[in-house]
Structures are given as structure tokens and as C-alpha cells.
Copies of this chain bind each other. A is one copy, B any other.
Amino acid sequence: MSETATIEPTPRSKVRRRAGRASYDRTVIDAILDEGLVAHVGICDGDGQPFVLPVVYARDGDTLYLHGSAVSRLLGTLGSGARMCLTVTLVDGVVLARSAFHHSLNYRSVVALGEGRLVVGEDEQRAALLTIVEHVAAGRSSEIRGPHAKELKATAVVSLALREVSAKIRTGPPIDDAADYQMDVWAGVVPLRLQAGDPIPDPRCQAEPPRYARSYKRDALSRVA
């Protein structure tokens, strides 16, 4: 899978507000996409009404894959080549400033624009579904039963090429007005992360939990609060 190091922003994908927080670096973008678990996908109906729904996704090189029921409205629309926006947001912390105005969040987000494509070949469909399982729990796809023909038929897989894509990142402490630094109020960052608890076995399961369930992590790499 060829990956370009930096994406050239288009007028649509160029970050306008707080452009200093923007990145078009695929290393940055891919790290956010690979850490995220849920994307929010937007589509428009014929009346200009947007719909935004959470979906599980996975990245394979320059391609994002989504899946859902073959009879779902969202997947049907996406699979027909509709314009879409896929956004992944990781919340890294609450930024508590001395003024209401400068409160903020630390976050890393990716916005990808484009048109969906229905995956029709069985090999790509099967590979995409296992990529999604691996994205959710690395190591799991080899231990479970893969999809059989009826399940493949019931599942729609849609791909989105990573072409018009940008990242936006905020890190660090609050930036207050000069005069406010003398205020006697605590200011700083409360770091946040999606953290796993102890695995809860299915009541009908006798097996021991695997390592990826016992120490489940989304953020394999270092994080910045």
C-alpha cells in the first residue's frame, strides 16, 4: 500500500479555523485513525438534511473501511457513491483556563471527505471485515470463525480512499489573557483517555481471556496530554 507522506489540502479539506492546529501529515493522520475506535460518518439526504451516525471502521493503507447491514440506509447510501465525511476524534483532556473564554479541550481529530464505494469482490470484502476485527482487537481475527457466505451477503462493506483528509490537534496548557494569570484559581489540564476495565466473560464461556482482552489498549503509542 503506497502512502504519501503529506496530503495536499483542497479548498474543502483545508483547516480554516485555528490553522496552526492543522496537520496534513499522513503519519499524524494514520496514528489518529488507528487509535480511534468509532468514527462519525455524515451523509446528506436530498433535502440538505445531514445525518451523522457512529460506525466502527478500520484503515488499510490508503483506504478506510466501514461495514454494516446490507439493508441499512446508511450503508446503502454510502455504497451508492454518495458524498461522505468521516470524522474521528480522540479526546485527550479538558483544558481549564482562568477565563470562560479560554476553556478548551485537548484533542486529536481527523476529517476525511470523499465518496463511498461498495466493496463487491468477496476477497476484498472478507479482508476488510477481518481488518475491522483486527482494528478492534489486534490478534483476534485468527482465533474466531470468519464470515461464511450468508454472513457476507448480509454485510455491506464500503471503502473511502484517504485523499481529502486533514488532522487537527490541540495539546498543552490553557493560554490565558496576560491579566488573568494573577487570578487565584487553579488552571491546567485534566487528561482523559479511553480506558479498559477487566474483561467480562460471556456467561457461556469457559476459556481464559487472551492478552489483548486482559490488557486492552487503544493507545499503543505515547500520548500527549
- Which residues of chain A have a CB within 8 Å of any CB of chain B? 12, 16-17, 37-38, 40-44, 47-54, 56, 68-69, 71-74, 82-87, 89, 91, 93-94, 96-101, 103, 105, 107, 109, 111, 113, 129-130, 133, 136-137, 140-141, 143-147, 151, 154-155, 173-174, 180-181, 183-205, 207-210, 213, 216, 225
Contact = CB atoms under 8 A, between A and B. Distances in A.
A174 to B, nearest CB: 6
Determine chain A's interface SS by DSSP, over half rule.
mixed
Across the A-B interface, give the 9 residue pairs with the lowest CB-CB distance, nearest first. A42-B50, A40-B40, A44-B44, A42-B42, A42-B52, A195-B195, A191-B197, A54-B89, A52-B87
A196 B154 CA distance: 39
A22 to B, nearest CB: 13
How many copies of the shown chain assemble into the complex? Answer: 2
A22 B125 CA distance: 29
9 contacts: A12-B49, A42-B85, A91-B194, A98-B144, A103-B133, A173-B202, A173-B203, A191-B199, A192-B197
Nearest to A184: B207
A54 B101 contact: no
Given A100-B133, A137-B94, A213-B186, A49 B180 contact: no
Contacts of A181: 204
Contacts of A40: 40, 42, 52, 87, 89
A129 B49 CA distance: 27
A144 B51 contact: no
Given A44-B44, A50-B43, A101-B147, A91 B17 contact: no
**Residue with the greatest number of chain B CB neighbours at <10 A, chosen from A85, A154, A202, A209:** A202
